[in-house]
Amino acid sequence: MSGERPLRLGLVGLGTVGGGVIRLLQTNEALITRRAGRPIEVVAISARDRTKDRGVDLSRFEWVDDMMALATRDDIDVVVELIGGADGPALTLARAVLGAGKPFVTANKAMLAHHGLGLAGLAEKAGVALKYEAAVAGGIPVIKGLREGAAANEISRVYGILNGTCNYILTTMERTGRSFGDVLRDAQDLGYAEADPSFDIDGVDAAHKLSILASLAFGTELNFADVDITGIRHVIAADIAEAAALGFRVRLVGMAENSANGLFQRVHPMLVPVNHPLSHVDGALNAVVADGNFVGRLFFQGAGAGDGPTASAVVADLIDVARDEYGDPFAMPVSSLARQPKADAGKRIGRSYVRFTVQDRPGVLAEIATAMRDAGVSIESLIQRGASQEDGVLVVIVTHASAESCVIDTLARLSGSESLTGAPMVMHILD
Amino acid sequence: MSGERPLRLGLVGLGTVGGGVIRLLQTNEALITRRAGRPIEVVAISARDRTKDRGVDLSRFEWVDDMMALATRDDIDVVVELIGGADGPALTLARAVLGAGKPFVTANKAMLAHHGLGLAGLAEKAGVALKYEAAVAGGIPVIKGLREGAAANEISRVYGILNGTCNYILTTMERTGRSFGDVLRDAQDLGYAEADPSFDIDGVDAAHKLSILASLAFGTELNFADVDITGIRHVIAADIAEAAALGFRVRLVGMAENSANGLFQRVHPMLVPVNHPLSHVDGALNAVVADGNFVGRLFFQGAGAGDGPTASAVVADLIDVARDEYGDPFAMPVSSLARQPKADAGKRIGRSYVRFTVQDRPGVLAEIATAMRDAGVSIESLIQRGASQEDGVLVVIVTHASAESCVIDTLARLSGSESLTGAPMVMHILD
């Protein structure tokens, strides 16, 4: 077996994940050779800056300035891309590698969300692997879980906690009672959040991942453009406290559903009941739930980011390539994926949490209650607290199950009202 | 794609799972064809009793009285075995099918636990698939999760809740405060437990599954004979109540660890801290945790039994076969699996829960405390309740971390003591 020809890698991108892949291949070398059936060897590496100290010894690898050369070199069997970015060099490289008939392994969710189908088409044409386990939920084998493990099922819904930064912020707010801004600054100091955190906290990163999961789960064309995205910037400490009082925890949930009404995809802070497994997903963990018509509810949890877990997923992909166990990147030929129209989210029926910040004067509650009545939304519970917020009094409402369009209609009716001192916050409830 | 030649099955065993496989293949036929790249068709079926009504229409399939004929028929591509039993017809069939160079899919954990390596050797020799996702944790793709998803990791420990019947009984005892015997009878009436429940409640079924997981996780030879097994018969309602008071829940945990000391494998009721994900696994659910050196802690949860979930796993295996995505059954050639000696469990360090039932008279507590001191076990907490049990007073002790051999030594020192009115119960604590 150790006499088998090695799988020879070109590794592009030497950030934390790239360094992690090198460390992992070295640390677990003997075991990986046994499991892969042959050695997996890094032959050539490439990154922007050759001089940077990355804490791993790179001297045994050939440094390549022009990463594009890896696509066509005869001594490279697979290219691993860890530079990121939806377009630009990563995409050029992916197209060149697959176009040259070489397998391509990537952790690049943004690129897949935007160009996944096209790249899958190239891989299919060449009959080579396009693998991306590390692109979603870090080390959790959820791409494999959907593509293969749950493949016998019609999946009606796939959802989860797909961004560790947001989950860290929300669960820290929950634990400490501190404000979003405070916790974000700490997360940035600790390296859990980027200097420019918008990709994470505005939900874009989770939406990239969700669009990939939806395609795999439903056999539909990947469609990132149709994901509705709300981040966590407007979640205030009081929302989390009120949710807790009502038996819920606030989580940024990416959720996709497929039905006769079309494809529903949304990233949105939600209220998760405390008896739901997602409510126990704390800190930087990720988790994914899939509801299948035969398997029931499958739940996967693990580390959603970090160099070790992400490297674990990248190398799992490489082992699949070394074993020659791979097939269509999105579980079926691109031409077999269904094109689903975007579902009308307004028709979804469910309970919602609505928080108003209002002036502390008579008649305000009547105004809100009237607007809800006129919009056809009935109130399950209502909490009004004393003037604890700087800018007014909080009124928190949990609605009975009603069409989401009616909740939107309520807000439209109250739009421009002088009673409201801030924008209302709507979070749907995971039932 | 629908023009591709179908994957033609011979299906042996038409109990609830066999019926589930037929229903699943019919219900999700179009989707499965898209995902598998070709139709998966049942051609011939065989079971003990042809006349039994199974609630599915079998008239479109050829009935075969001699299941062994399926092994060599040219119009059968794969045989699916769902009759069960470690030896006997299932094993004869497996050997014949693999020996004839045909892929074999099974849900038979008992057969794999006893004969898995031999069968894997036959599959390897013939270059065909031996797939068994349904053998462990029902619909949860944990075989795939370990064989492929976590393949890049050195796994130090794999453990989980592997028997839904036991988990149903323990969590019902927890919720209702009722006795083991009462709850077992109800479970039998409801069909959650067999008329002869010993395979489940004595831990044998969980041990079969654990031995399979351990081989996959560690790259060691499957070794069922070395699993230490204790079931849940001796867990009393008071154990569950005392554990709860101390912040734990009682679960039957199968745990395997690999280290320089050897291979440790044990099925045993354990105290699981309420903040550990296994403590939230209720009812008939199953869950598996794997600790990898790069990925960290992976957690898989789902339905561990039932016709739908089990059929989901069987058909996932068939899709892998149809896609030609398979390899060595135990993740590497049988000759590469390491032979590990059995670890000395006595050297394991951890906290333990020990419950004594004692006479209500002076000096008993001193006798126990002295035995523990002499055995080198120090006491973290001790609860003595009034005479609530028929046969004496309960003394419940949680030890500080100590070698398990010292806890055993404590019991040896107290063996034969007239102060004890029943056998002590030891449960280790999952820390």
Long-range contacts of B366-373 (CB under 8 A, 24+ apart): B367/B414, B367/B417, B367/B419, B368/B395, B368/B397, B368/B414, B368/B419, B371/B410, B371/B413, B371/B414, B372/B397, B372/B399, B372/B410
Question: Looking at domain B7-135, which of 3.40.50.720, 3.40.50.2300, 3.50.50.60, 3.40.640.10 is its CATH number?
Answer: 3.40.50.720
**pLDDT for the residue B148:** 98
CATH class of A142-303: alpha beta
A-chain CB neighbours of B18 within 8 Å are none
How close, in Å, is residue A159 to chain B by CA atoms?
15
* CA distance to A85, A86, A124, A228, A406, per residue, from A110 (Å): 6, 5, 20, 16, 34
Q: Nearest by CB to A34, from B277, B302, B332: name it.
A: B332
Instruction: Please give the Cα distance from B81 to B72 (Å, whole number).
Output: 15
Question: Looking at domain A346-428, which of 3.30.1490.100, 1.10.150.20, 3.40.50.10860, 3.30.70.260 is its CATH number?
Answer: 3.30.70.260
In sign, the C-alpha dihedral spanning A130, A131, A136, A141 is positive
- Which residues of B form the catalytic set? 209
Q: Burial letters for A392-431: b for 16+ Cβ neighbours within 10 Å, e otherwise?
A: bbbbbbbbeebbbbbbbbbbebbeeeebbbbebbbbbbbe
A-chain CB neighbours of B315 within 8 Å are 151-152, 294
Closest to A124 measured CA to CA, from B37, B71, B322: B37
**pLDDT for the residue A142:** 98
A-chain CB neighbours of B154 within 8 Å are 27-28, 31
Q: B316–A24: do the CB atoms touch at under 8 Å?
A: no
Q: Nearest by CB to A331, from B28, B35, B311: name it.
A: B35
Q: Nearest by CB to B152, from A148, A219, A315: name it.
A: A315
Instruction: Please give the Cα distance from B322 to A321 (Å, whole number).
Output: 18
Q: A300–B303: do the CB atoms touch at under 8 Å?
A: no
Q: Nearest by CB to A28, from B154, B306, B323: name it.
A: B154
Pairing of strands B393-399, B352-358: antiparallel
CB A243 within 8 A of CB A249: yes
B-chain CB neighbours of A277 within 8 Å are 277, 280, 301
CB B110 within 8 A of CB B132: no
Instruction: Please give the Cα distance from B319 to A316 (Å, whole number).
Output: 20
Instruction: Please give the Cα distance from B359 to B395 (Å, whole number).
Output: 10
Q: Which residue is closest to A320 within chain B, CA to CA?
A: B148
**pLDDT for the residue A2:** 45
**pLDDT for the residue B54:** 83
Domain with CATH 3.30.360.10 in chain B: 142-303
DSSP A138: T
Instruction: Please give the Cα distance from A44 to B310 (Å, whole number).
Output: 45
Instruction: Please give the Cα distance from A427 to A60 (Å, whole number).
Output: 52
A116 annotated as a binding-site residue: no
How close, in Å, is residue A205 to chain B by CA atoms?
21
Q: B302–A303: do the CB atoms touch at under 8 Å?
A: no
Q: B28–A1: do the CB atoms touch at under 8 Å?
A: no
Instruction: Please give the Cα distance from B132 to B212 (Å, whole number).
Output: 10
* CA distance to A133, A309, B31, B120, per residue, from A146 (Å): 11, 19, 13, 26
- Residue A305 three-state SS: coil
Instruction: Please give the Cα distance from A356 to A395 (Å, whole number).
Output: 5
DSSP A414: H
**pLDDT for the residue B193:** 87
DSSP A336: G
- Of the residues B27, B35, B330, B335, the best mutation for testing chain A's interface (the one with the most A CB atoms within 10 Å of its CB) is B35
ipTM, interface predicted TM-score of the complex: 0.96
For chain A, list residues with pLDDT below 50.
1-2
Averages of pLDDT over each 10 residues, chain B, 431 residues = 81 95 98 98 94 87 96 97 96 98 98 98 98 97 98 98 97 97 94 90 98 98 98 97 96 97 97 96 96 98 95 98 97 97 96 95 93 97 78 92 97 95 96 89
Instruction: Please give the Cα distance from B429 to B402 (Å, whole number).
Output: 11
A-chain CB neighbours of B316 within 8 Å are 148-152
Q: Which residue is closest to B140 within chain A, CA to CA?
A: A298
CB B167 within 8 A of CB B155: no
Q: Nearest by CB to A1, from B34, B323, B333: name it.
A: B333
AA identity, residue A431: D
Residues 6+ away with beta carbon under 8 Å from B91: B85, B111, B115
AA identity, residue A1: M
B-chain CB neighbours of A332 within 8 Å are 34-35, 37
Q: A24–B333: do the CB atoms touch at under 8 Å?
A: no
Q: B316–A141: do the CB atoms touch at under 8 Å?
A: no
CB B45 within 8 A of CB B113: no
**B341 burial level (CB within 10 Å; 0-12, 13-18, 19+):** exposed
Instruction: Please give the Cα distance from B232 to B173 (Å, whole number).
Output: 11
CB B318 within 8 A of CB B22: no
- Residue A1 three-state SS: coil
- Of the residues B295, B325, B334, the best mutation for testing chain A's interface (the one with the most A CB atoms within 10 Å of its CB) is B295
Q: Nearest by CB to B294, from A294, A298, A312: name it.
A: A312
Q: B296–A277: do the CB atoms touch at under 8 Å?
A: no
φ, ψ (nearest 5 deg) of residue A333: -60, 145
CA Rg value for chain B: 24
CA Rg value for chain A: 24
Instruction: Please give the Cα distance from B12 to B7 (Å, whole number).
Output: 16
Domain with CATH 3.30.70.260 in chain B: 346-428
Give tens-digit pLDDT for A176-213.
Answer: 999 999 999 999 998 888 889 999 999 999 999 999 99
- Residue recorded with tokens 């269904």: A338
Residues 6+ away with beta carbon under 8 Å from A106: A80, A81, A82, A90, A94, A112, A130, A131, A132, A134, A135
Q: What is the largest CA-CA distance in chain A?
A: 84
A-chain CB neighbours of B298 within 8 Å are 139-141, 300-302
CB contacts < 8 A, A to B, total 206
Neighbours of B126 (CB within 10 A): 17
Q: B301–A303: do the CB atoms touch at under 8 Å?
A: no
AA identity, residue A244: A
Q: B35–A292: do the CB atoms touch at under 8 Å?
A: no
**pLDDT for the residue A186:** 93
Domain with CATH 3.40.50.720 in chain B: 7-135
CB B224 within 8 A of CB B113: yes
Q: Which of A102, A131, A144, A209 is catalytic?
A: A209
Instruction: Please give the Cα distance from A289 to A278 (Å, whole number).
Output: 8
Give tens-digit pLDDT for A247-281.
Answer: 999 999 999 999 999 999 999 999 999 999 999 99
**pLDDT for the residue B52:** 86
